Amino acid sequence: MIKPVSSSPPGTPIIEVRGLGKKFVVKRTVFGRPLAQVGAVDDVTFSLMPGETLAVVGESGCGKSTLGRMLIRLIKPSAGEVFIDGHNVTNVSHAVMREQRRHVQLIFQDPYASLNPRMTIAQTIAEPLMLHNIVPAGQRAKRVAELLEMVGLRPEQANRYPHEFSGGQRQRVVIARALASEPKAIICDEAVSALDVSIQAQVLNLLKDLQKRLGLAFVFISHDLGVVKHIADRVAVMYLGKVVEIGTAEMTFSTPRHPYTRALLSAIPVAAPPSQHRSRAARLHGDLPSPIAPPQGCRLHTRCPHARPECQTVSMALDIEPNGHANACAFWRELPAQDADHVREPRNPKLEKLFAAFEAMAARPALTVSES
Amino acid sequence: MSTSQDILSNPSARSVRADDAVTPVLEVTDLRVAFEGDARTVTAVDGVSFTVRKGRTLAIVGESGSGKSVTSLAVMRLLPEHSARISGKVNFDGRQLLDETKSAMRSLRGNRLAMIFQEPMTSLNPSYTVGEQINEVILRHRPISKKEATERAIAMLRLVRIPSPETRYHQYPHNLSGGMRQRVMIAMALACDPELLIADEPTTALDVTIQAQVLELMRELQQKTGTAIVLITHDLGVVAEACDDVIVMYAGQVVEQCSVEQLFTFPEHPYTIGLLGSLPRLDEKRESLVAITGAVPDMANPPKGCRFQARCPFRIDKCAEMPDLMEVSPGHFSRCWRAPMEDLVP
Ligand SMILES: Nc1ncnc2c1ncn2[C@@H]1O[C@H](COP(=O)(O)OP(=O)(O)OP(=O)(O)O)[C@@H](O)[C@H]1O
Ligand SMILES: Nc1ncnc2c1ncn2[C@@H]1O[C@H](COP(=O)(O)OP(=O)(O)OP(=O)(O)O)[C@@H](O)[C@H]1O
Ligand code: SF4
Ligand code: SF4
Ligand SMILES: [Mg+2]
Ligand SMILES: [Mg+2]
């Protein structure tokens, strides 16, 4: 029997990493020997199945973007291995990697910096279509228009340049370009954080829809836990380069184990009238330690509300429960239960009625407006 | 070495007086911005008016592309002169900014007027270290020595919670994470105790804990120095926690204006209702989010009447005429024929 070369046995993760690590040199001696290093990512292991969404959350500077870039080898790991579709790509040539990137796309955190200012939006989106020969030349313009419409932009905007777009519009152009190469997985680095909520909702719905139809997998790097809760199947929480908790979204949000995850959940700003705000007591205080000299033992001990002297010497190995929920706090079984207050948002019944009226009316058959 | 306390008790800082809260720092009246293209003219901002008072924070929220960034760039006089046509009035502390000379604007910017840009990578110079760039701003506006400027720059980096500021000072923008770059921008903007700070999505790349710290820091500085802040954000949680007043923009116009308390208690414009309704929530999981269907109108050729009509579920025949921004209840304005919305939910 002949099989297409790219198809891999069922059950193969689309992306898998084992013991992945990256150190950046931030200071050298006059002779070029490293003096100080940032351990941006340290011993990270996970796998991503086709059709699955893994969210990566954590404090600014904890290594999320570095991890995302290593997955497509834009940065070479200093330790560990990366597999794409079952192939070890840790040391493959640039040419082989270029071919793989069609299947795994990265949406960068800074949309403007990843668009070529001298190319129109149409040229930008058509580039991967051409490069990977996805549709015949004659149909490219039509495909570009479809992709623009998918992300909520108007096709007549195709011939304009990036500087003529707003921040959120540029981010959607970048998403359209990533979708153009029809990848199997997309790494979204804060891909929707510059979008206002209504467009964010459109784009998230679109991503979920594509996932269902095409079996796309996502690594979703985000600091917005509301969005993560909505889109993720599994969540990995990082702190100073280490994964401190990983589990299904359901487990992570309803029974967060690690003190850092708990602190993150309690810091979420709530869109409610200021008179109804929650207390800020549960938030993490103190400064993020420097990744150049991370604390010994559990890296959270300098800020953890539950820290005890032993925490300065414990290892950060993940303790995996039978249901797969894993976390790196050596003392998690002894911690007080987290009250579920963080998940309840106050609501005003009259306002609920107003939302319901909006939704019900919006669901009526297409509104007809004479565009005069 | 100076600490954050030194920065907060900076002798040049202005103290807040009781009557300050009513003193407008910035008054924008009927601002219009049109971009002239080859074949088409895009009216990005169409008759926007608002006031920001001393020691207060005004939020600008609104659909992507509704003119939030263009409004702030117009106030700062940073739009490309060859293509942007600007009219209206921008009164900053008694000066008409639209009539000021270029050199007068240059000495105001970064000093009394500061701006944090939406995309940090485009406003940081990749070939200078972040320390050099903050120093440059301080030295341009303050008669102090290079050494003092360096100390102040490092103290500012520490203030925005960047770990190892002495090392980071010597690094280039590409060596920092996205959120660190954003904080460098904030440090730079706050370095000269501005009277007015316009912050365009200053915390989008920040995770919640640092976001909360940075917002608290901005609040703290504001209480010390009475800085008036315009905060452009799409994060309604940030609006709720960090702002006093709010304007909601849609297709170049202000469609709702009120206090933050009023906005979240009971919004009075259908766009805002849709916006609040489409927030992903932590206490429920839905298959798909309520999205406002359809897209913003083409601003080169906007519809006659209400600009939200093609997407508005509450639309009536009258909406073919343009409504004014009308006061629905004390201090609460809405540009909608059907306000007050109370009548829709008996
Ligand atoms: N230099 C320019 N030339 C032509 N059109 C422009 C230019 N700058 C902005 N525009 C247009 O003006 C409109 C308003 O843009 P603006 O950047 O103010 O949006 P915004 O409200 O800040 O959106 P976002 O939330 O996405 O940042 C957009 O439709 C944009 O395409
Ligand atoms: N090219 C580089 N050279 C030196 N250090 C770097 C480089 N890229 C990243 N780093 C450092 O690695 C650490 C992790 O950075 P990374 O960009 O991965 O963080 P992040 O989790 O994506 O943060 P954010 O949420 O702020 O985007 C930071 O301390 C950063 O300064
Ligand atoms: S090991 Fe100690 S410091 Fe670390 S999270 Fe657990 S209790 Fe806190
Ligand atoms: S004026 Fe009419 S179309 Fe416009 S927002 Fe109000 S109800 Fe909707
Ligand atoms: Mg990042
Ligand atoms: Mg903008």
The secondary structure of B289-327 as a DSSP string is -----S-PPPTTS--SS-TTGGG-TT--GGGGSPPP-EE
- Dist CA A176 CA B282 (whole Å): 28
- pLDDT, residue A186, reads 93
> For chains A and B, what is the number of CB pairs under 8 angstroms?
257
Lowest mean pLDDT among A57-71, A281-295, A318-332: A281-295
The secondary structure of A241-275 as a DSSP string is TEEEEEEEHHHHHHS--SHHHHHHHHT----S-GG
Binding site membership of A305 for ligand 3 (Cβ less than 6 Å):
no
Binding site membership of B306 for ligand 4 (Cβ less than 6 Å):
yes
pLDDT reading at B162 higher than 90 = no
Comparing B267 with B217, which gets the higher pLDDT?
B267
- pLDDT, residue A190, reads 84
- pLDDT, residue A194, reads 67
pLDDT reading at A367 higher than 50 = no
List C-alpha distances in Å: A270 to A267, A275, B212, B282: 9, 12, 11, 10
Cβ partners under 8 Å of residue A176, min gap 6: A125, A147, A148, A150, A151, A153
Atom 7 of ligand 4, residue of closest alpha carbon: B315
Cβ partners under 8 Å of residue A54, min gap 6: A46, A48, A217, A218, A219, A220, A232, A233, A234, A235, A236
- Which residue among A201, A290, A371 places its CB closest to the CB of B291? A201
- Dist CA A48 CA A264 (whole Å): 24
Atom 6 of ligand 4, residue of closest alpha carbon: B336
* Closest Cα in chain A, distance from residue B121 (Å): 7
Lowest mean pLDDT among A139-148, A177-186, A272-281, B60-69: A272-281
- AA identity, residue A152: G
Residue B281, chain A, CB below 8 Å: the answer is: yes
- Chain A CB contacts of B274 under 8 Å are 198, 358, 362
pLDDT band for position A8 (cuts 50, 70, 90): low
Pocket (CB within 6 angstroms of ligand 1) = A 163-169, 196; B 35, 42, 44, 62, 64-70, 80, 83, 118, 234, 299
Angle between helices A121-131 and A140-150 (to 10 degrees): 120
Tell me which chain B residue has its CA closest to the CA of residue A156.
B298
A120 in Cβ contact with A148 (< 8 Å): no
- AA identity, residue B173: P
- A237, β-bridge pairs: A57, A245
- pLDDT, residue A231, reads 86
DSSP B109: B
Taking the CA of residue A260 as reference, the ligand 3 atom at the shortest distance is: 5
Q: Longest Cα pair distance anywhere in chain B, in angstroms?
A: 67
A22 in Cβ contact with A41 (< 8 Å): yes
- Dist CA A38 CA A321 (whole Å): 31
The secondary structure of B129-144 as a DSSP string is -HHHHHHHHHHHHS--
Binding site membership of A311 for ligand 3 (Cβ less than 6 Å):
yes
pLDDT band for position A346 (cuts 50, 70, 90): low
pLDDT reading at A262 higher than 80 = yes
- pLDDT, residue A9, reads 62
Mean pLDDT calculated for residue range B20-32: 86
pLDDT reading at A320 higher than 50 = yes
pLDDT reading at B209 higher than 50 = yes
- β B196-200/B41-53 pair status: unpaired
- Dist CA A368 CA A78 (whole Å): 58
> What pLDDT, in 10s, does the model give residues B303-326?
889 999 988 999 999 999 999 999
Q: Which of residues 72-101 of B touch A (CB under 8 A)?
A: none
Extract the tokens encoding A182. Answer: 């029809």
List C-alpha distances in Å: A353 to A271, A350, A360, B4, B277: 17, 5, 10, 47, 11
- pLDDT, residue B289, reads 62
pLDDT band for position A264 (cuts 50, 70, 90): confident
- pLDDT, residue B97, reads 95
> What pLDDT, in 10s, does the model give residues A297-314?
999 999 898 889 999 999
Lowest mean pLDDT among A128-137, B233-242, B256-265, B280-289: B280-289
DSSP B244: S
Give phi and psi for B91, each to the nearest 5: -100, 115
Extract the tokens encoding B341. Answer: 């919305």
The percentage of residues in chain A with a pLDDT greater than 90, rounded to a whole number, is: 39
- pLDDT, residue A33, reads 77
ipTM value:
0.77
- AA identity, residue A50: P
- Dist CA B266 CA B248 (whole Å): 14
Mean pLDDT calculated for residue range A75-92: 92
Atom 28 of ligand 1, residue of closest alpha carbon: B65
B33 in Cβ contact with B84 (< 8 Å): yes
pLDDT band for position B330 (cuts 50, 70, 90): very high
Residue B240, chain A, CB below 8 Å: the answer is: yes
Whether residues A369 and B177 touch (CB distance < 8 A) is answered with: no
- pLDDT, residue B312, reads 92
- β A34-48/A15-28 pair status: antiparallel
- Dist CA B195 CA A90 (whole Å): 52
> What pLDDT, in 10s, does the model give residues B217-234?
788 878 888 899 999 988
- How far does the centroid of ligand 3 lie from the alpha carbon of residue A298, in Å? 6
Binding site membership of B205 for ligand 2 (Cβ less than 6 Å):
yes
- Dist CA B277 CA A271 (whole Å): 11
- pLDDT, residue B303, reads 86
Q: Which ligand is nearest to the CA of A171?
A: 1
- pLDDT, residue B316, reads 94
- Chain A CB contacts of B234 under 8 Å are 168, 194-197, 200
Best CA proximity match to A76, nearest among A85, A86, A89, A95 = A89
The side-by-side arrangement of strands in the sheet containing A326-327 is A104-107, A185-189, A217-221, A53-58, A234-239, A242-248, A326-327, A319-320
- How far does the centroid of ligand 3 lie from the alpha carbon of residue A311, in Å? 6
Q: List, in sequence order, the alpha helices (H) in chain B.
A: 4-8, 68-75, 102-108, 120-123, 130-141, 146-159, 165-168, 178-190, 208-225, 236-242, 260-265, 270-277
Tell me which chain B residue has its CA closest to the CA of residue A193.
B204
Tell me which chain B residue has its CA closest to the CA of residue A108.
B178
- AA identity, residue A2: I
- Burial class of residue B89, CB neighbours in 10 A (0-12, 13-18, 19+): middle
How confident is the prediction for chain B on average, in pLDDT? 85
Whether residues B273 and A354 touch (CB distance < 8 A) is answered with: yes
Cβ partners under 8 Å of residue A337, min gap 6: none
Binding site membership of A179 for ligand 3 (Cβ less than 6 Å):
no
pLDDT band for position B290 (cuts 50, 70, 90): low
Label residue A77 left, alpha or beta by phi (over 0 means left) and psi (-120 to 50 means alpha): beta
Binding site membership of A262 for ligand 3 (Cβ less than 6 Å):
no
Cβ partners under 8 Å of residue A143, min gap 6: A126, A129, A134, A135, A180
Residue B317, chain A, CB below 8 Å: the answer is: no
- pLDDT, residue B216, reads 81
The residue written with tokens 């270290």 in the block is: B129
- A215, β-bridge pairs: none
The percentage of residues in chain B with a pLDDT greater than 90, rounded to a whole number, is: 49
- Chain B CB contacts of A369 under 8 Å are 303, 309-310, 315
Label residue B226 left, alpha or beta by phi (over 0 means left) and psi (-120 to 50 means alpha): left
> What pLDDT, in 10s, does the model give residues A45-54?
999 999 999 9
pLDDT band for position B121 (cuts 50, 70, 90): low
